[in-house]
């Protein structure tokens, strides 16, 4: 009998994680793979553009929940996703990453006795002030199959008493997506559109509440941007833009010499800019893995990371908003003394989707 699998996506970092899964499920005639979009992110540039560019199938349902407080958003996703599940009757639900859509959909599915697979399981920042950390832990408790991206994830799950027969170390799906689109990324040379040369500029993304939701933090971020001393491309997230306007910092941001503010960029454009930059300054999770893949120094604007492999084997360094640390590392980068990514990184993005899909299909039969 044909089996139906529903992958749930909601926020920008989810969409790329589905591309290798969609491709691999096509190998099986007896599997119908559908996507449900919760609508947590809704702007064209935060959502639709990724579906177009990654060639993802149109979601079977868009729950249209939009933004809101954590409780409100999670609650609305649960209400709408329960209706979708009752209607679509999936044999399995796949959730990815650590956003509110991830935990909301897992809880709904399990209460309807639908098995759940979690892609990017086991990651821990050990920082419970991050909403994502609670989402990660709770989703892992609920999931029947746990697909882990790096060895630290297996250790974390074991320590938390998770039944390890459910956990599979498969590698980092973001790196597989990157490799699927590498020819297009490498051809794009998007820095040319900014009048820049390869290796001559910095790339910045910052949107975490801890960096942008208070006047003090956002002021410190702006001070760092004023220190960089290289042309800097900053695709600004809607949250950051709103906060800069609320705190009266928008003018100061716009006046930084050589800072090029753009709206959030599509996948290929963003990764092309990453491949060609001198270094990245970012508080994103997955940018740490992508920068390591390209062997581009990645200064992580956070005090911790749930992806320690990219500190150890990759090119990530935790800098928070510490200007002294950043200045020291910028010197190293200028002198070509910043550490290089190890060979392990490329292996982390090999056959990730195929392994996940094979295990799911075997489990369903």
Catalytic (active-site) positions: 207
Is the CB of 46 or the CB of 141 nearer to ligand UD1?
46
Interaction residues for ligand UD1, span 219-258 (CB under 6 A): 237-239, 242
Q: Which of 4, 28, 32, 42 is close enough to bind ligand UD1 by CB under 6 A?
A: 42
Q: For residues 40 and 117, which CB has a smaller minimum distance to ligand UD1 in the complex?
A: 40
Alpha carbon distance 247, 218 (integer Å)? 9
Radius of gyration of the chain (CA): 20
- Which whole-number Å values give the CA distances from 277 to 84, 151, 230, 296, in the listed order? 43, 29, 11, 7
63 contributes a contact to ligand UD1 by CB under 6 A:
no
Among 5, 7, 13, 143, binds ligand UD1 (CB under 6 A): 13
| The one segment of 8-16, 49-57, 139-147, 340-348 that binds ligand UD1 by CB under 6 A | 8-16
Give the residue, chosen from 3, 46, 323, 339, that forms a contact with ligand UD1 under the rule CB under 6 A. 46
Told to check if 342 binds ligand UD1 by CB under 6 A, we report: no
Instruction: Report angle CA 348, 351, 352 to the nearest 5 degrees.
Output: 65
Decide: is 99 part of the binding site for ligand UD1 (CB under 6 A).
Answer: yes
Q: Are 247 and 215 in contact (CB under 8 A)?
A: yes
* 100 is an interface residue for ligand UD1 by CB under 6 A: yes
Closest CA to 349 of 314, 297, 318: 314
- Told to check if 11 binds ligand UD1 by CB under 6 A, we report yes
For ligand UD1, the binding residue among 67, 179, 262, 332 (CB under 6 A) is 67
By CB under 6 A, how many residues form the interface with ligand UD1? Answer: 18
β-pairing, 31-37 with 61-62? Answer: parallel
DSSP E strands, 39-122: 61-62, 92-96, 116-121
- Contact present, 6 and 81 (Cβ < 8 Å): no
Q: Could you identify the residue written with the tokens 């990730």?
A: 352
- What size, in residues, is the chain? 365
**Binding residues among 102-161 for ligand UD1 as defined by CB under 6 A:** 131-132
Report the residue number, 46 or 88, with the smaller CB distance to ligand UD1: 46
**Residue whose CB is less far from ligand UD1, 238 or 342:** 238
Which one, of 298, 290, 281, 295, lies nearest residue 228 by Cα? 281
Does residue 75 bind ligand UD1 (CB under 6 A)? no
Q: How many CB atoms lie within 10 A of CB 189?
A: 13
Q: Which residues contact ligand UD1 by CB under 6 A?
A: 11-13, 40-43, 46, 67, 99-100, 131-132, 207, 237-239, 242
């Amino acid at each position: 009998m044909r089996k139906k699998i529903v992958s749930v996506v909601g926020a920008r970092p989810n969409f790329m994680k589905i591309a290798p899964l969609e491709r691999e499920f096509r190998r099986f005639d007896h599997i119908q793979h559908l996507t449900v979009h919760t609508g947590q992110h809704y702007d064209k540039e935060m959502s639709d553009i990724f579906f177009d560019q990654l060639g993802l199938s149109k979601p079977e349902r868009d729950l249209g929940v939009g933004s809101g407080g954590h409780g409100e958003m999670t609650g609305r996703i649960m209400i709408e996703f329960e209706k979708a599940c009752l209607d679509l009757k999936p044999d399995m639900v796949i959730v990815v990453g650590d956003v509110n859509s991830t935990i909301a959909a897992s809880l709904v599915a399990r209460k309807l006795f639908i098995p759940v697979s979690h892609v990017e399981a086991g990651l821990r920042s050990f920082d419970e002030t991050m909403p994502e950390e609670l989402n990660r832990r709770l989703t892992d408790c609920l999931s029947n199959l746990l697909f882990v991206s790096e060895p630290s994830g297996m250790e974390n799950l074991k320590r938390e008493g998770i039944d390890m027969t459910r956990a599979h170390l498969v590698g980092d799906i973001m790196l597989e997506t990157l490799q699927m689109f590498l020819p297009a990324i490498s051809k794009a040379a998007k820095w040319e559109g900014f009048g820049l040369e390869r290796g001559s500029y910095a790339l910045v993304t910052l949107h975490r509440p801890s960096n942008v939701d208070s006047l003090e933090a956002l002021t410190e971020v702006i001070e760092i941007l004023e220190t960089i001393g290289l042309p800097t491309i900053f695709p600004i997230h809607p949250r950051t833009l709103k906060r800069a306007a609320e705190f009266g910092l928008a003018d100061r941001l716009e006046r930084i010499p050589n800072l090029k503010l753009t709206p959030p960029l599509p996948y290929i454009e963003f990764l092309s800019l990453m491949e060609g930059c001198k270094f990245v300054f970012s508080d994103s999770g997955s940018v740490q893995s992508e920068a390591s893949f390209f062997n581009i120094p990645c200064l992580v604007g956070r005090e911790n990371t749930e992806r320690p492999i990219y500190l150890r084997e990759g090119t990530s360094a935790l800098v928070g908003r510490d200007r002294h640390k950043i200045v020291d590392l910028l010197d190293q980068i200028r002198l070509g003394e910043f550490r290089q990514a190890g060979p392990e990184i490329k292996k982390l993005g090999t056959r990730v989707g195929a392994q996940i899909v094979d295990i799911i299909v075997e489990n369903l039969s």
